[in-house]
Amino acid sequence: MKECEDIIQKALQEGRSSLLIQESQQICKLHHIPTPVSYVVQNVDEAVTKGKLIGFPVVLKIISPQILHKSDVGGVVLGIGGEAALKESYPKLVAEVREKKPEAEVMGVLIEKMMPPSTEVIVGGIRDSQFGPSVMFGMGGIFTEVYKDVAFRVAPLDKIDALNLIHELRGSKILEGIRGQPPADMDALVKILLNVSSLMLQHSAVSQLDLNPVIAYHDVVCAVDTRIVLAKSDGGM
Amino acid sequence: MDLEPFFKPKTVAVVGASRKPRKFGHVIFKNFVDTEFEGKVYPINPEAETVLGLKAYPSVVDVPSELDLTVIAVPALKVPSIVDDCITKGVKAAVIISGGFKEIGGEGAKLESSIKEKIEGKNLRIVGPNCIGVYDPVNHVDTLFLPKYRLRRPKQGPIAFISQSGAFGAAVLDWATSQEIGISKFISIGNKVDVDEVDLLNYLADDPHTKCVTLYVEGIGRGRAFLDAAKKALKRKPVVVLKGGMTKAGARATMSHTGSLAGSAAIYEGAFKGAGIIAARTVDELFDYARVLAYQPVPGNQKNVAIVTNGGGFGVISADEISRKGLNLAEFNSNTLERLRANLPDYAIPHDPLDLVGDADVERYRIALDAVSSDPNVGLILVIVLLQTSFIESDVVDAISEASLASGKPMVVCTIGGDFTQMLVKMLEEDQIPAYPTPGRAVNAINSLIQYSEVREIIERKSKQS
């Protein structure tokens, strides 16, 4: 996909080893991976305009090529419920990042729809030195952190592979709906895995991809945070 | 197939065929002379007139016939020029036994790359260097330089075994012989300058003597090609892999969450699972799985397990293992229950696990196995037979084999004990009924068979999908 490659090549030419959040989101969108509605804004007034357009609550995320782990430097504010809170949060976010990471070049702020909570999963892509592009699926939160409830498949995946991958996890029962919760949208989860598989196959410069978390609802899924790490060469294939 | 000359050579030369009995080249040459190998074998030794009574030649180029296979057992420094000779002669296949190449680094690595360059674009295929080569009991090809009193050679059987490590391979062959386990082909691939696990998997997929392929590998060079070869082979036969060195790869970049979770073990596991490869974690598992997969039929849609035992405790432990693996015991149908009630003593309660009780004799096993194995609710049968009682004689082996053949359902045995038990285990092995010393290993083996049947089902679904 040329549009995606253009984004990747531009980042590589600028000497960046990872994509900016809006670039990652754009690539995901072009690969039919659902992400929240979002806009890049440069000041608080723009943020307010876009916030009203999106509808509250919203999330703010700092945009900087030097910041890969945004929440470590206070670069994310979640659950902004209205205009007043947004006006207060915006300057605080920028100030905190400036203080914690003064050398970081701030290129704006991403404002996006705050997605309601539901079951969280993690979807990843990696270029393995022996097997090449591979896809990861895991149950989110503590299931990933503590129980390492994740599993891999080598790309390409088909529907059967994707379903087997999902069901391999110990926590997959949660996705089938427990304690009165509706089951997660399995078709959408399968699609996201297939789309990550083809994304990894198509773009050899993408060395690692994180969709973490992906929130799974009963009728849709949404990758609320995306990260794409680039490799300078075509390594792995 | 371009690998055929390794396994079915009509003419063989052994370079380094010394007159001294302890030299590797001598042992290898003697293997071809002593066995039923039907082709012609030539000793290559510039310093001897004859070796073991056969005329020796100074070089492969001097041999008066075409050469299919050349086994090279001379010091590493001499190997490149012998490879040149092989190319000149038009030799089709060479096994380089010699060590002192990539595994020692430096000059050795350079020697190995020089060999790689020499064969580039040529017809010569090479197994090794730094390996013990090929053992094929079907065609009596034996390049193992270890004398037969140290390393006994297994009989012919349905299991192919590829080992990256020569020492591991040799130990397993010796052990397999002691267990009456048969081998279709053994290949020690060593440094893999040319022929690797991918080539061999492709070859063995079509080998009519091989029903199950087992591999011990440390590193897989061509990961994606390996998975493709495995997928192709799995349409016809199971592939079991023991992967050494499954510790976390330290060098992996961890800029992403996915990267930090992707230890090499996790990716291997996913890659194997995705392809349908059965992963063994231990040496025990490798052959526990290979035996049941090579000997027994794949279960059909019915995958419930019936346990028939003469020991209550082993029955209970097996039932626990079955549920731990997420498998199910069978529920006998009314016909089976009726037959069991009518023909077994009152104190043998007819449910799964079916405890025939300590005084069970062979006849009781016959009745039980016949009834249980013909029950449509039963997919697989685990026969526990503890031979410490005097009620059971060795014809229990016939009872089990006959029931297995008659029902066409997979059957495995669990039995543990001393000499008498070991004798019966070997008899069962002869009849291709795998026996395991513990309920855990028996149930794991059953699970591997079910796993393979699921792999087959997925392959079928995929072929319909596309």
Q: What is the mean pLDDT of chain A?
A: 92
Q: Which long-range contacts (CB under 8 A, 24 or more apart) does A68-71 make?
A: A68/A18, A68/A227, A68/A229, A68/B255, A70/A21
Q: Is the CB of A120 inside 8 Å of chain B's CB atoms?
A: no
Contacts of B243 in chain A (CB under 8 A): none
**Residue B409 distance to chain A (closest CA, Å):** 27
Same structural domain, A87 and A101: yes
Do residue A97 and residue A71 come from a single domain?
yes
- The residue from A80, A114, A148 where one domain ends is A114
DSSP B248-314: PPTTS--SSHHHHH--HHHHHHHHHHHHTPEEESSHHHHHHHHHHHHHSPPP-S---EEEEES-HHH
One domain, residues A103 and A124: no
Q: A108 and A161 in one domain?
A: no
Kindly give the parts of chain B with pLDDT less than 70. 1, 246-263, 466
Asked if residue A93 and residue A196 are part of one domain, the reply reads no
DSSP annotation of B20 reads S
A190-229 exposure pattern, b = at least 16 Cβ within 10 A, e = fewer: bbbbbbbbbbbbebbbbbbbbbbbbbbbeeebbbbbbbbb
**Res B257: pLDDT:** 58
Within-domain flag for B383 = yes
Domain membership flag for residue A23: no
Note whether residue A131 is domain-resident: yes
Determine which of B243, B258, B277, B461 to mutate to test the interface with A (most A C-beta atoms within 10 Å): B258
Total tally of structural domains belonging to chain B: 1
Tokens 């020029």 sit at which residue?
B81
The predicted structure's pLDDT at residue B265: 82
Confidence (pLDDT) at A233: 52
Nearest to A39 by CA among A50, A48, A23: A50
Q: Which helix (H) or strand (E) holds B445?
A: helix B439-465
pLDDT at residue A56, as a whole number: 95
- Same domain? A123 vs A178: yes
| Structural domain range at position A219 | 119-230
Residues of A in contact with B197 (CB under 8 A): none
| pLDDT at residue A234, as a whole number | 44
- Give the one of A18, A68, A125 whose C-beta lies nearest to B258's C-beta: A125
Cβ-defined contact of B255 to A68 (cutoff 8 Å): yes
CA B228 to each of CA A146, B233, B264: distance values in angstroms, whole numbers, following the listed order: 34, 9, 19
Once rounded to an integer, what is the mean pLDDT over residues A151-170?
95
Q: What does the alpha-carbon distance between residue B435 and residue B267 come to, in Å, rounded to a whole number?
A: 32
Which residue carries 């080569």 as its tokens? Answer: B133
Give the pLDDT confidence score for residue B246 in this predicted structure. 64
**Residue A20 within a domain:** no
* pLDDT value for A144: 78
B363 found inside a domain: yes
The answer to whether A160 and B462 have CB atoms below 8 angstroms apart is: yes
Q: What CATH number is associated with residue A193?
A: 3.30.470.20
Residue B374, domain member (yes or no): yes
ipTM: 0.86
The reply to whether A67 falls in a domain is: yes
| CATH code of the domain covering residue A97 | 3.30.1490.20
Which of A96, A114, A132 marks a domain boundary?
A114
- Show residues of chain B in contact with A141, CB under 8 Å: none
- Residue A214 lies inside a defined structural domain of this protein: yes
Same domain, A60 and A106: yes
Could you tell me if A125 and A222 lie in one domain?
yes
Whole-number Å distance between alpha carbons of B81 and B371: 67
Minimal CA separation from A213 to chain B, in Å: 11
Residue B118 CA to residue A29 CA, distance in Å, equals 50
Q: Which domain holds residue B442?
A: 299-454
Kindly list the distances between the CA atom of residue B162 and the CA atoms of A13, B13, B165, B241, in Å, as whole numbers in the listed order: 46, 23, 9, 9
Minimum distance, in Å, between the CA of residue A228 and any CA atom of chain B: 8
Q: Within chain B, how many helices (H) and strands (E) appear?
A: 16, 19
Are the C-beta atoms of B384 and B415 separated by less than 8 Å? yes
Q: What is the CATH number of the domain that holds B337?
A: 3.40.50.261
CB atoms within 10 A of CB B409: 21
Assigned domain for A61 exists: yes
Percentage above 70 pLDDT, chain A: 97
- B309 within a domain of the structure (yes/no): yes
Sheet of A38-41, strand order: A38-41, A108-113, A58-63, A76-80
How many structural domains is chain A composed of? 2
- How many CB atoms sit inside 10 A of residue A118's CB? 16
Rounded (10°) CA dihedral A54, A58, A59, A64: 30
Q: What three-state secondary structure class fits B134?
A: strand
In the numeric block, which tokens belong to residue B28? Answer: 């290898």
A129 and A215 both lie in a single domain: yes
How far is the C-alpha of B414 from the C-alpha of B440, rounded, in Å? 9
**Chain A hits for B221, Cβ within 8 Å:** 130
Q: Mark yes or no for CB contact A160/B266 under 8 Å.
A: no
Q: Which residues of A touch B271 (CB under 8 A)?
A: 128, 131, 134, 152-154
Does residue A203 share a domain with residue A140? yes
**pLDDT value at residue B255:** 54
Are residue A126 and residue A110 in the same domain, yes or no?
no
Q: What band does A235 get if pLDDT is binned at 50, 70 and 90? A: very low
Of the residues A114, A141, A167, the one at which a domain ends:
A114
A165 with A199, same domain: the answer is yes
Inter-chain CB proximity A154 and B224 less than 8 Å: yes
